[in-house]
Amino acid sequence: METKQGYETKELRDGIGLKKTKRKMAEVFEAHCVDSWVLANGWTGGHTYPDNKQLLCITPLRFHRRQLHRLQFSKGGIRKPYGGTLSHGFKRGSLVKHPKWGLAYVGGCLKDRISLHAVASGRRLCQNAKPADCRFLTFNTWRTRALPLTPKVGSPAPKNL
């Protein structure tokens, strides 16, 4: 392992002709990967330009754990269920196949129904899916999405094959 200073990385980047963007919140190669690519290429060599600039965005799913102190006792001294990671036999975040909504992940539950969420965006699809209609595929704790490539300014549009 070799430690490089920031100015050394900048010299390598300038030598190849790559630019680093100032927009740090942008989901583009130039904001997050250009320095690591330059350092790796400086070690291995062989490339003059990155051949793959597509990013895979990985986001952890956020689950509300049990918060027993949050709710007061109801009539009869029984607390309402809140939190936890099981929804009618499905672990929250599990990927399921639903006849209407397709591939989705399990969110919360209400009475005898579960909520389904879109895998790509996390947007809630429905709150009233029957657990019997859902076919379990796998456990899941991450939401992943492939970011579209951003064309370079002045470059021709990509061809559809």
Give 111-149 pLDDT, tens digit per residue.
Answer: 889 999 998 888 999 999 999 999 999 998 888 888 887
Q: Is the dihedral of CA 97, 100, 104, 107 positive or negative?
A: negative
List of E strands, the chain: 56-60, 86-87, 90-91, 95-98, 102-110, 113-118, 124-129, 135-138, 142-146
Give phi and psi for 56, each to the nearest 5. -110, 120
Centre a 10 Å sphere on the Cβ of residue 38 and count the other Cβ atoms it contains: 22
- pLDDT of 135 reads 95
**What pLDDT is recorded for position 108?**
82
The confidence score (pLDDT) of residue 156 equals: 45
Q: What is the mean pLDDT of residues 37-54?
A: 87
**Three-class SS state of 117:** strand
Say what the pLDDT of residue 67 is: 61
The per-residue pLDDT for 82 is: 61
Q: Which of 97, 90, 73, 45 is nearest to 82 (CA)?
A: 73
pLDDT at residue 70 greater than cutoff 80: no
Q: What is the pLDDT of residue 64?
A: 66
Q: Compare 77 and 148 and report the one with higher pLDDT.
A: 148
36-50, 91-105, 141-155: lowest mean pLDDT where?
A: 141-155
Cα dihedral 63/69/71/72 (nearest 10): 170
| pLDDT of the residue at 71 | 59
More confident residue, 128 or 154: 128
**Is a pLDDT exceeding 70 seen at residue 60?**
yes
With bands split at pLDDT 50, 70 and 90, how would you rate the model's confidence at 154? very low
